[in-house]
Amino acid sequence: MAEAIIEFFLSIFGNIELTTFVVSAIPLVELRGSIPLGVGGGLHPLVSFLLSYLGTVTISILLFFLLKPVLNLLKRIKIFKNLALSIEDHIRSKAEGVGDKEGTEGRENFYKTMGVALFIGVPLPMTGTWTGTAIAVFLDMKFRHAIVGILLGNLMAGSILTLLTVFFEPYIDLIITILFAIIAVVILIVVVKFLLKSFKKNKDVQNDMTKK
Protein backbone atom coordinates (compact mmCIF):
# COMPACT_ATOMS: atom_id res chain seq x y z
CA MET A 1 0.00 0.00 0.00
CA ALA A 2 2.78 2.45 0.92
CA GLU A 3 4.52 1.76 -2.40
CA ALA A 4 1.28 2.51 -4.26
CA ILE A 5 0.90 5.82 -2.39
CA ILE A 6 4.48 6.84 -3.22
CA GLU A 7 4.09 5.81 -6.87
CA PHE A 8 0.83 7.77 -7.11
CA PHE A 9 2.49 11.01 -6.03
CA LEU A 10 5.61 10.33 -8.11
CA SER A 11 3.42 9.88 -11.19
CA ILE A 12 2.11 13.41 -10.62
CA PHE A 13 5.24 15.30 -9.55
CA GLY A 14 7.98 13.26 -11.21
CA ASN A 15 10.61 12.97 -8.49
CA ILE A 16 10.66 12.37 -4.75
CA GLU A 17 12.19 15.76 -3.90
CA LEU A 18 9.41 17.75 -5.55
CA THR A 19 6.84 15.26 -4.27
CA THR A 20 7.97 15.76 -0.67
CA PHE A 21 7.95 19.55 -1.03
CA VAL A 22 4.48 19.72 -2.60
CA VAL A 23 2.84 17.09 -0.38
CA SER A 24 3.96 19.01 2.71
CA ALA A 25 1.83 21.93 1.48
CA ILE A 26 -1.37 19.88 1.11
CA PRO A 27 -3.98 20.57 3.82
CA LEU A 28 -4.24 17.88 6.53
CA VAL A 29 -1.28 15.97 5.04
CA GLU A 30 1.48 18.51 5.67
CA LEU A 31 4.66 17.44 7.53
CA ARG A 32 3.06 14.42 9.12
CA GLY A 33 2.63 12.85 5.70
CA SER A 34 5.46 14.32 3.65
CA ILE A 35 8.39 13.42 5.92
CA PRO A 36 7.64 9.66 6.06
CA LEU A 37 6.71 9.76 2.37
CA GLY A 38 10.07 11.30 1.46
CA VAL A 39 11.99 8.77 3.55
CA GLY A 40 9.93 5.93 2.09
CA GLY A 41 10.82 7.23 -1.37
CA GLY A 42 14.55 7.04 -0.63
CA LEU A 43 15.41 10.46 0.79
CA HIS A 44 17.65 10.91 3.82
CA PRO A 45 15.46 11.86 6.82
CA LEU A 46 17.18 15.25 7.14
CA VAL A 47 16.61 16.05 3.46
CA SER A 48 12.98 14.99 3.77
CA PHE A 49 12.61 17.23 6.82
CA LEU A 50 14.18 20.26 5.10
CA LEU A 51 12.05 19.92 1.95
CA SER A 52 8.91 19.42 4.03
CA TYR A 53 9.75 22.38 6.26
CA LEU A 54 10.25 24.64 3.25
CA GLY A 55 6.97 23.44 1.75
CA THR A 56 4.91 24.10 4.87
CA VAL A 57 6.48 27.51 5.51
CA THR A 58 5.94 28.54 1.88
CA ILE A 59 2.25 27.63 1.92
CA SER A 60 1.84 29.30 5.31
CA ILE A 61 3.13 32.62 3.99
CA LEU A 62 0.82 32.45 0.96
CA LEU A 63 -2.13 31.47 3.15
CA PHE A 64 -1.49 34.30 5.61
CA PHE A 65 -1.93 36.92 2.90
CA LEU A 66 -4.54 35.20 0.71
CA LEU A 67 -6.95 33.52 3.15
CA LYS A 68 -9.25 36.46 3.93
CA PRO A 69 -9.37 37.80 0.34
CA VAL A 70 -10.25 34.31 -0.97
CA LEU A 71 -12.94 33.78 1.68
CA ASN A 72 -14.41 37.22 0.97
CA LEU A 73 -14.50 36.36 -2.72
CA LEU A 74 -16.20 33.01 -2.05
CA LYS A 75 -18.82 34.73 0.11
CA ARG A 76 -19.85 36.76 -2.93
CA ILE A 77 -20.51 33.55 -4.91
CA LYS A 78 -23.84 32.07 -3.92
CA ILE A 79 -22.92 28.39 -4.16
CA PHE A 80 -19.77 28.89 -2.04
CA LYS A 81 -21.11 31.42 0.47
CA ASN A 82 -22.19 28.92 3.14
CA LEU A 83 -18.98 26.95 2.78
CA ALA A 84 -16.91 30.11 3.28
CA LEU A 85 -18.99 31.10 6.32
CA SER A 86 -18.62 27.61 7.79
CA ILE A 87 -14.83 27.78 7.36
CA GLU A 88 -14.77 31.20 9.03
CA ASP A 89 -16.86 29.95 11.96
CA HIS A 90 -14.60 26.94 12.39
CA ILE A 91 -11.43 29.04 12.37
CA ARG A 92 -12.86 31.66 14.73
CA SER A 93 -13.81 28.96 17.25
CA LYS A 94 -10.25 27.60 17.12
CA ALA A 95 -8.77 31.10 17.41
CA GLU A 96 -10.76 31.86 20.57
CA GLY A 97 -8.90 29.17 22.46
CA VAL A 98 -5.50 30.37 21.28
CA GLY A 99 -5.79 34.12 21.71
CA ASP A 100 -7.90 34.56 24.84
CA LYS A 101 -5.05 35.70 27.15
CA GLU A 102 -5.16 39.29 28.34
CA GLY A 103 -2.35 41.63 29.29
CA THR A 104 -0.12 44.26 27.73
CA GLU A 105 0.13 44.34 23.95
CA GLY A 106 3.57 42.75 24.07
CA ARG A 107 2.37 39.98 26.36
CA GLU A 108 -0.69 39.33 24.19
CA ASN A 109 1.51 39.08 21.10
CA PHE A 110 3.74 36.60 22.94
CA TYR A 111 0.77 34.45 23.99
CA LYS A 112 -0.64 34.46 20.48
CA THR A 113 2.72 33.61 18.92
CA MET A 114 3.34 30.74 21.33
CA GLY A 115 -0.26 29.57 20.97
CA VAL A 116 0.12 29.34 17.19
CA ALA A 117 3.51 27.60 17.58
CA LEU A 118 2.10 24.96 19.94
CA PHE A 119 -1.00 24.43 17.82
CA ILE A 120 1.12 23.76 14.73
CA GLY A 121 3.85 21.94 16.66
CA VAL A 122 1.69 19.05 17.89
CA PRO A 123 1.39 16.76 14.84
CA LEU A 124 -2.17 15.53 15.39
CA PRO A 125 -5.23 15.41 13.09
CA MET A 126 -6.91 18.82 12.71
CA THR A 127 -3.79 20.69 13.85
CA GLY A 128 -0.99 21.87 11.63
CA THR A 129 0.28 24.73 9.55
CA TRP A 130 -2.92 25.40 7.56
CA THR A 131 -5.16 25.70 10.61
CA GLY A 132 -2.46 27.40 12.69
CA THR A 133 -1.85 30.02 10.02
CA ALA A 134 -5.59 30.56 9.60
CA ILE A 135 -5.85 31.09 13.37
CA ALA A 136 -3.09 33.70 13.17
CA VAL A 137 -5.00 35.50 10.42
CA PHE A 138 -8.25 35.57 12.40
CA LEU A 139 -6.42 36.73 15.52
CA ASP A 140 -5.35 39.73 13.42
CA MET A 141 -1.72 39.00 14.18
CA LYS A 142 0.95 41.01 12.44
CA PHE A 143 2.99 39.00 9.97
CA ARG A 144 6.22 39.32 11.95
CA HIS A 145 4.56 37.77 15.01
CA ALA A 146 2.67 35.12 13.05
CA ILE A 147 5.71 33.96 11.09
CA VAL A 148 7.67 33.34 14.30
CA GLY A 149 4.89 31.07 15.57
CA ILE A 150 4.63 29.34 12.20
CA LEU A 151 8.40 28.76 11.95
CA LEU A 152 8.64 27.44 15.52
CA GLY A 153 5.56 25.25 15.17
CA ASN A 154 6.72 23.65 11.94
CA LEU A 155 10.17 23.13 13.43
CA MET A 156 8.62 21.30 16.39
CA ALA A 157 6.27 19.18 14.28
CA GLY A 158 8.97 18.41 11.72
CA SER A 159 11.49 17.42 14.38
CA ILE A 160 8.99 15.08 16.07
CA LEU A 161 8.04 13.42 12.79
CA THR A 162 11.68 13.11 11.67
CA LEU A 163 12.73 11.48 14.95
CA LEU A 164 9.81 9.05 14.80
CA THR A 165 10.69 8.24 11.20
CA VAL A 166 14.35 7.60 12.11
CA PHE A 167 13.54 5.44 15.14
CA PHE A 168 10.92 3.40 13.27
CA GLU A 169 12.48 3.44 9.80
CA PRO A 170 12.19 -0.37 9.42
CA TYR A 171 8.41 0.13 9.64
CA ILE A 172 8.27 3.12 7.30
CA ASP A 173 5.89 1.42 4.85
CA LEU A 174 3.45 0.66 7.66
CA ILE A 175 3.78 4.21 9.01
CA ILE A 176 2.98 5.70 5.58
CA THR A 177 -0.02 3.41 5.14
CA ILE A 178 -1.45 4.19 8.59
CA LEU A 179 -0.81 7.94 8.30
CA PHE A 180 -2.49 8.28 4.92
CA ALA A 181 -5.39 6.08 6.03
CA ILE A 182 -5.92 8.41 9.01
CA ILE A 183 -5.61 11.46 6.77
CA ALA A 184 -8.20 10.03 4.35
CA VAL A 185 -10.64 9.41 7.21
CA VAL A 186 -10.07 12.92 8.62
CA ILE A 187 -10.63 14.49 5.18
CA LEU A 188 -13.88 12.53 4.81
CA ILE A 189 -15.05 13.64 8.26
CA VAL A 190 -14.18 17.28 7.55
CA VAL A 191 -15.98 17.27 4.18
CA VAL A 192 -19.10 15.64 5.64
CA LYS A 193 -19.07 18.02 8.61
CA PHE A 194 -18.86 21.11 6.42
CA LEU A 195 -21.53 19.80 4.05
CA LEU A 196 -23.90 19.11 6.95
CA LYS A 197 -23.23 22.53 8.45
CA SER A 198 -23.78 24.18 5.07
CA PHE A 199 -27.01 22.21 4.59
CA LYS A 200 -28.23 23.27 8.03
CA LYS A 201 -27.51 26.93 7.28
CA ASN A 202 -29.41 26.69 4.00
CA LYS A 203 -32.34 25.11 5.78
CA ASP A 204 -32.33 27.80 8.48
CA VAL A 205 -32.31 30.53 5.84
CA GLN A 206 -35.21 28.90 4.00
CA ASN A 207 -37.17 28.60 7.25
CA ASP A 208 -36.58 32.27 8.03
CA MET A 209 -37.75 33.28 4.56
CA THR A 210 -40.85 31.09 4.93
CA LYS A 211 -41.72 32.71 8.27
CA LYS A 212 -41.43 36.16 6.71
Here the contacts of 182-188 (C-beta below 8 Å, separation 24 or greater) are: 182/125, 183/28, 183/29, 183/32, 183/33, 183/125, 186/28, 186/125, 186/126, 187/28
The total number of structural domains in the chain stands at 1
Give the C-alpha separation, 186 to 209, whole Å.
35
Reported confidence tier of residue 206, pLDDT bands at 50, 70, 90: low
171-193 residue pLDDT tens: 888 888 888 888 888 888 877 87
For residue 165, the enclosing domain spans: 2-211
Reported confidence tier of residue 103, pLDDT bands at 50, 70, 90: low
Q: Is the pLDDT assigned to residue 51 strictly greater than 90?
A: yes
Mean pLDDT of the chain: 86
Q: Is the pLDDT assigned to residue 70 strictly greater than 90?
A: yes
DSSP symbols for 98-116? HS---S-HHHHHHHHHHHH
Give the C-alpha separation, 33 to 125, whole Å.
11
119-176 residue pLDDT tens: 999 887 778 899 999 999 999 999 999 999 999 999 999 999 999 999 988 888 888 8
Q: Is the pLDDT assigned to residue 11 strictly greater than 60?
A: yes
